[in-house]
Chain A
């Protein structure tokens, strides 16, 4: 049943280092290992029977073919040597360009991931396969398309089993989505502070009485939250007394959640500041066109394959980079409205573009167990190029970060890129300084160029607006 595919070129002069992925430890059924830059997964004897059952069910190729599940290849255990321990199977998965965390996802991404989790489950149950968990960290994005990455979550389903991941699903998908769709509050800050998600009891405590009368809210949030606190002994009795959850009720619960989640919309009452930025910004269409052309030329000259677009707004320059030959673009912005638009745009235009939430002055840190379970943004920065258009004045002036620090951070992010300098005479900067004292005597092009030249080579520059905005291409040594 398992096709042991021999590695094409295992032996090289120096064997690649094998190291266990620090974020993969919760399920003792297996573990992720890094073999150099390759991603391997062990299956331990405790999960081997379930693994074989799922392999024979035909589910895996069906899901891979539909793009819902990351592909897998069987390898010989010998490859891992002693590190394999008493593992029963070894798999290889393709390496992803970038791992994002649910607290970096905009609403639309979390919603798409939740729907994938439910669709996978419904497809799995048809073949008598269940999932051992429902963690959002098992889903990653290829552009805006969610892909499930944990093969080991699939286990044999026995009729009558409960949905063991129901609570986790609610905490990591449903409740964070409800926070935005009921209150207009983005999930990102809360989720980041609480990486296992938002508890039913906490969300329930916020709900006004009238919202508690909805059947779905009542069962999944209110009832679950209050029973979670008060009746643990009864739950223990119920499970120990071998209570049964019929498959029909299971399917109904999953499909009910699917319909509900698909209908959720952000409850923001007013458009966010940047949602209509494209229409209200301070430069004209010809200037925007000049910037797109500049970015396109940079990407085709540098042959950058992966691009980070910091302050991406709705993704104009990521789209230009992709058209010029980049393989994928990851956009970062702190404005939820712009991110929603960017996500919808990437979906409708089929762009390999993933918009993510980021406050540049406070990126995701290393956190979780041992501060190694969920890596911070810096540890995941492996882009070929960075774009920072119409960005630095927001950090240097709105957030008081010294210009030198802003340039250092951007140059650290990727070995080459495009940075736009926006002078004090630009209407946007005038606006930023309107209600505050100008405490930025060093914020000028000359100082910017000095900061950049201390760290990188300026390849070329071009003035792109009447107000004096200027784009710079930089390049530094690859570390």
Chain B
């Protein structure tokens, strides 16, 4: 399942980079500029993937904390009930 999600994320990143670009290009954009922008586009894709994972890591720990708190509070209430 995790493996499948990773493949999906990489595929999405690639899709971000591959798409059509129309041009009213009477101006030569220059090879350097186009490659710099491609690099920045790739970087934007990579940032998107990393932030996707980061959100997931944060969510995982948030859930972990939440569930441990739940366990704790339910244990406390059980104790109270026991009194």
Contacts and interface: CB of A to CB of B under 8 A. Distances in A.
Q: Do A and B come from one complex?
A: yes
Contact of B26 (A26, A226, A243): A26
Given A133-B27, A162-B29, A166-B29, A242 B35 contact: no
A132 interface: yes
B41 A252 contact: no
Nearest to B20: A242
A223 B36 contact: yes
A243 B31 contact: no
30 contacts: A26-B27, A29-B24, A133-B26, A159-B19, A162-B21, A162-B34, A162-B37, A163-B37, A164-B24, A164-B25, A164-B29, A167-B33, A223-B35, A224-B32, A228-B31, A231-B31, A238-B34, A239-B21, A242-B21, A243-B18, A243-B19, A244-B16, A244-B21, A245-B37, A245-B40, A245-B41, A246-B45, A249-B40, A252-B44, A253-B37
A161 B21 contact: yes
Given A238-B35, A243-B38, A132 B27 contact: yes
A54 to B, nearest CB: 12
Contacts of A300: none
Interface residues of B, number: 29
By secondary structure, the A interface counts as helix
A163 B21 CA distance: 10
A64 interface: no
B24 A132 contact: yes
A219 B19 contact: no
B82 interface: no
B8 interface: no
Given A166-B33, A244-B16, A245-B21, A132 B26 contact: yes
B23 A231 contact: no
Given A168-B27, A232-B31, A249-B43, 14 more contacts: A29-B26, A162-B23, A162-B37, A164-B25, A167-B30, A219-B36, A219-B40, A223-B36, A224-B33, A228-B33, A229-B32, A243-B19, A244-B16, A252-B44
Contacts, number: 133
B39 interface: yes
B36 A220 contact: yes
A238 B38 contact: yes
B17 interface: yes
Contact of B22 (A28, A47, A158): A158
